Amino acid sequence: MFGLGKKKKFEQHQRLLYQCQRFGEFALELAEENADADQIEFWQAKLGRITKVRDGSLRKDGLIDKNDEFFLDALRDKCEDMFYKTELSKQQSFDDSFAPDEGWEAYLEDVKEKLG
């Protein structure tokens, strides 16, 4: 299905999408608990864009364009910084907290199946 370089990009892009989506959902939940309207609006907007990028990636062999990759890289850095300011970070790492329950290999295989 993929060449080696394309496979690596696919995995990188899908990990970025997954981690940003899951952290965004986590952050939105915290914002709602704290009734922080600015953060609620911020995370709703980011989650909307992540969903749009994810859906677009499914039409492009699981890959995203450079602009979306830059957006997700920057957002992931912000997510990770924010995560390490929470109590959860004392229990486990960012990567461990925002990984699929079934593991990355099974998750990525599932995404590949959705591609057709």
- For residues 84-104, give the mean pLDDT: 93
Instruction: Give the residue from 27, 10, 4, 5 showing the smallest Cα distance to 110.
Output: 10
Region 42-69 average pLDDT: 93
Instruction: For tokens 């229990």, name the residue.
Output: 91
Number of domains the chain is built from: 1
- The C-alpha atoms of residue 25 and residue 47 are separated, in whole angstroms, by 8
Q: What is the pLDDT of residues 28-39, one digit of tens each?
A: 999 999 999 999
pTM for this prediction: 0.87
Residue 42 belongs to domain spanning: 4-115
